[in-house]
Amino acid sequence: MNYSWDFLVYFKQSVTGEGVYWRLLATGLGWTVLLSLSAWVLALALALGIGTARTLPSPWLRWPAAVYVHCFRNVPLLVQVFLWFYVVPELLPESMGRAIKQAPATTSQFFTMLLALTLFTAAKAAELVRAGIESVPRGQKQAAMAMGFGFVDAYRLVIVPQALRIIVAPLTSDFMNVFKNSAVALTIGLMELTGRTRQFSEFSAQPFEAFLAATLIYMGVTWCVVLLMRHVEVRLRVPGMAGA
C-alpha cells in the first residue's frame, strides 16, 4: 500500500492559513461541546415540562404534548434543520426574515442548529420523563395526597424528583445521542468537529490521520461522560428501587 503515514501532520500549518491542524480540530471540538451541552440543558428543561404534561389528567395539556412528541420524533433531524434554516426565514414577516439572513453566518448557523437540536432532543427526552413518572409507584402520589399535599405539590416535591432519579441512566445515553447528532451542523456550514475533520483530510491529503484523530476524540468524550454519569447514577439511585 502506497499510503505514507505522517503522524506529525497534526503540527503542520494548514494550507489555507487557518493555523496548525490540531487547532482546527480543537476549535471544532469546542463548537461540538458548546452546541451539544447547551442543546441538552435546554432540551432537558423543555422535556421536563412536556413529559410531565403527557401524564396530567387534563386533555388540553396532554394532547398538544403528545402531538409535539410525535411530530418532532418522526421527522429526520437533518430535515428539521433544513426546515429551520431554509424554510422558516421565508415564512416569517419579511423584515424578520431579512434580519436573520443578514446575521453573521456562524451566529445564524449556531442558533439554528441549537434550536433544531433542542426541539428534536426534547421530544425524545420527554418520553423518558413520562416513562419515569409512570414508573413511580402509585402509592407515592396517594400517600402525598393523604398527607395534605395539593396536586401540584405532590408532582413537584414527590413524584417528579423520584422520576428524574430513575431516568438518569437513559438520559446519559440520550446525551451521547445529542453529542453525536450535533455533527449534522456541518450540513449548514457550522464547522464542528466532523466538519473540521473533513477539511483537515482534504487540505492535508492525510485522511487516515484526520479521521483517526476525530474517532479517538469522540470516543474519549463518550468515555468521560460514561464514567462521570456512572458516578452520578450511583449517588442519585433511589433506595429500594431495583435496577433504577
Contact positions vs another protein (CB under 8 A): 1-3, 70-71, 73-80, 82-83, 86-87, 90-91, 176, 180-184, 186-187, 194, 197-198, 201, 207-208, 211, 214-215, 218-219, 222-223
Question: Measured from the CB of residue 174, what is the shortest distance to another protein in angstroms?
Answer: 13
Complex with another protein: residue 93 or 240, whichever CB lies closer: 93
Show the CA angle centred on residue 218, arms to residues 214 and 224, nearest 5°: 145
Question: Measured from the CB of residue 91, what is the shortest distance to another protein in angstroms?
Answer: 6
Complex with another protein: residue 7 or 151, whichever CB lies closer: 7
Complex with another protein: residue 82 or 203, whichever CB lies closer: 82
The answer to whether the beta carbons of residues 109 and 188 sit under 8 Å apart is: yes
Question: Measured from the CB of residue 126, what is the shortest distance to another protein in angstroms?
Answer: 15
CB within 8 A of 179, min separation 6: which ones?
32, 36, 218, 221, 222, 225
Question: Measured from the CB of residue 75, what is the shortest distance to another protein in angstroms?
Answer: 5
Complex with another protein: residue 65 or 144, whichever CB lies closer: 65
Complex with another protein: residue 26 or 236, whichever CB lies closer: 26
CA distance 128 to 118: 15
CA distance 232 to 237: 9
In 17-51, which positions are buried (b, 16+ CB within 10 angstroms) versus exposed (e)? eeeebeebbeebbebbeebbeebbebbbebbbebb
Question: Measured from the CB of residue 161, what is the shortest distance to another protein in angstroms?
Answer: 28
